[in-house]
Amino acid sequence: MKKGILYILLLMSNVMLANITLPSIFSDHMVLQQNEDVKFWGWAGPNETVEIKPSWTNEIYTVKATSDAKWELIVKTPKAGSTYSIIISGYNEIIINDVLIGEVWLCSGQSNMEMSASWGIENGEEAIAEANHPTIRFFKVEKSSADGPQDHIIGKWEICTSETMKDNSAVAYFFATQLQENIKNTPVGLIISAWGGTPAEIWIPEEVFENDKVLTEAANKLQPQDWGPTQPAKAFNAMIYPIAGYNLAGTLWYQGESNVGSLVYDKTLSALITSWRMLWEADFPFYIVQIAPYDDGYKHYGSVIIRDAQRKVANTIENVEIVVVSDISPTDDIHPKNKKSVGQRLANIALKKQYQAIDNLVEHPELERVVYNKENAVIHFKNADGLFIKGTASLFEIAGEDNVFYPAKTKLKDQTILVYSNKVKQPFSVRFAWGNALQSNVFNRADLPASSFTTEK
């Protein structure tokens, strides 16, 4: 009797172990990246044969699970389209329904990325009412942290409706709608992995810090917070690592406020971008929303230093861009409500750089170089067509070798700005909009603002 019960228990155990299981990212309503060799992975019995049969092809993909019960398989996707199903079978069978093929973007950062229409965005009620887009899908990763890299992630794919849109990232939603206005019949999948109040360090793999003293020292200065972790890799382990390998078109990143005070944010952000690309084994586009000017009531340069660090990273790493939002963000609100313009500016960059769907000017005026000519500094910009200064105030400052900055006068000449002060006979450095709450007043013909910057060493 006992032997019989033991046999039944062992048999049941083997059957359970043999069942194919999938990460939650592979589920009904998902979006797969179009025209790519996409990776599927999961678990099965050791040496179990796993078959994948997508409905868009007659081809059957086969692989054997390893001795530790893991498997992965590369499947070729077609061009954008819907609606498909996928059968994954071994000793058991899983059918994934309502699968779309299109463009998949990872949307990460802190509260300004997380912020949904239900938080009270500008024209939010109208946006919610119009948010029935069946070919836009959300996968919202639940907030969690872990000491080591995890296999599983908590989340599910949802069809974009008024009900689902209102609780998902507004920036990501408006990004997707702008994409679809310009690249027709293309589904968009939005993987939203964001956590308000979090510093960049928690989104970076732990091994990055092991051999980098500068990053480790910066991470050690972070103070514990009630609303989320501040230790390196905590969110990365639980909210990024489990989806690494899910094919992406690119990443949107809106974060930085919780790193105000750091003097090495450019190095931190660069490490994040590099580590994610290494993990995915792809140099996907990485588009950054520059944090907005904000008056926190204290006299320091912490916020503008972060903005300048974001500018530097975009200028030095390939396929990284920033969008500047100082003109659409009031300085008394750390959570600016105009999320539609932010999402559209991100989408316009993608439409031009990634998809070649538009060719008009969508980039902000970008500092190219400064030429010092006797008592003048001549500032040259990229994307400077139609360059102009709004109002009469000058936000430029100039300094000599002593690094003492004085307010400067300006002259606009063609697509350059001449900067000078009678207090500086031999200029050595220039800075622009150098203050936490200063909003740019230099624009190009696309009415996009220049970033704050400094050339001081």
pLDDT in tens, the chain (457 residues): 444 443 333 333 444 456 999 999 999 999 999 999 999 999 999 999 999 999 999 999 999 999 999 999 999 999 999 899 999 999 999 999 999 999 999 999 999 999 999 999 999 999 999 999 999 999 999 999 999 999 999 999 999 999 999 999 999 999 999 999 999 999 999 999 999 999 999 999 999 999 899 999 999 999 999 899 999 999 999 999 999 999 999 999 999 999 999 999 999 999 999 999 999 999 999 999 999 999 999 889 999 999 999 999 999 999 999 999 999 999 999 999 999 999 999 999 999 999 999 999 999 999 999 999 989 999 999 999 999 999 999 999 999 999 999 999 999 988 999 999 999 999 999 999 999 999 999 999 999 999 999 999 8
Q: Does 167 lie in the same domain as 202?
A: yes
Q: Does 115 lie in the same domain as 77?
A: no
Q: Does 297 lie in the same domain as 194?
A: yes
Q: Does 121 lie in the same domain as 75?
A: no
Q: Does 330 lie in the same domain as 240?
A: yes
What is the per-residue pLDDT for 211?
Answer: 86
- The number of C-alpha atoms within 13 Å of 401 and in the hemisphere containing its C-beta is 1
Domain containing residue 38: 17-99
Distances (CA, A) of 45 to 8, 26, 122, 140: 18, 19, 51, 29
In a domain, 156, yes or no: yes
What is the per-residue pLDDT for 18?
Answer: 64
Q: Answer yes or no: are the C-beta atoms of 320 and 269 closer than 8 Å.
A: no
In a domain, 119, yes or no: yes
* Domain limit, last residue, from 331, 353, 375: 353
What is the per-residue pLDDT for 429?
Answer: 97
Instruction: Tell me the three-class secondary structure of the chain, residue by residue.
Output: CHHHHHHHHHHHHHHHHHCCECCCCCCCCCEEECCCEEEEEEECCCCCEEEEEECCCCCCEEEECCCCCEEEEEEECCCCEEEEEEEEECCCEEEEEEEEEEEEEEEEECHHHHCEHHHCCCCHHHHHHCCCEEEEEEEECCCCCCCCCCCCCCCCEEEECHHHHCCCEHHHHHHHHHHHHHCCCCCEEEEEEECCCCCHHHHCCHHHHHCCHHHHHHHHCCCCCCCCCCCCCHHHHHHHHHHCCCCCCEEEEECCHHHCCCCCHHHHHHHHHHHHHHHHCCCCCEEEECCCCCCCCCCCCHHHHHHHHHHHHHHHCCCEEEECCHHHCCCCCCCCCCHHHHHHHHHHHHHHHCCCCCCCCCCCCEEEEEEEECCEEEEEEECCCCCEECCCCCCEEEECCCCCEEECEEEEECCEEEEECCCCCCCCEEEECCCCCCCCCEECCCCCECCCEECCC
Q: Does 377 lie in the same domain as 438?
A: yes
Q: Does 331 lie in the same domain as 202?
A: yes
Q: Does 277 lie in the same domain as 131?
A: yes
In a domain, 399, yes or no: yes
How much is the pTM? Answer: 0.95
Q: Does 62 lie in the same domain as 189?
A: no
Q: Does 219 lie in the same domain as 115?
A: yes
- Residue carrying structure tokens 């998949």: 104
Q: Answer yes or no: are the C-beta atoms of 269 and 309 closer than 8 Å.
A: yes
* Domain limit, last residue, from 99, 134, 167: 99
Q: Which residues, 6+ apart, have CB-to-CB distance to 392 below 8 Å?
A: none
Q: Answer yes or no: are the C-beta atoms of 197 and 169 closer than 8 Å.
A: no
Q: Answer yes or no: are the C-beta atoms of 134 and 140 closer than 8 Å.
A: no
Q: At what angle do helices 170-182 and 339-353 cross, to 10 degrees?
A: 40
Q: Does 371 lie in the same domain as 248?
A: no
What is the per-residue pLDDT for 12?
Answer: 39
> How many Cβ atoms are within 10 Å of 418's Cβ, its own excluded?
16
CATH of the domain at 295: 3.40.50.1110
In a domain, 48, yes or no: yes
CATH of the domain at 33: 2.60.40
Which residues are bridge partners to 342 per DSSP? none
User: Which tokens go with 256?
Assistant: 């930085």
Q: Which residues, 6+ apart, have CB-to-CB distance to 73 below 8 Å?
A: 39, 40, 41, 50, 52, 61, 62, 63
In a domain, 193, yes or no: yes
The total domain count for the chain is: 3
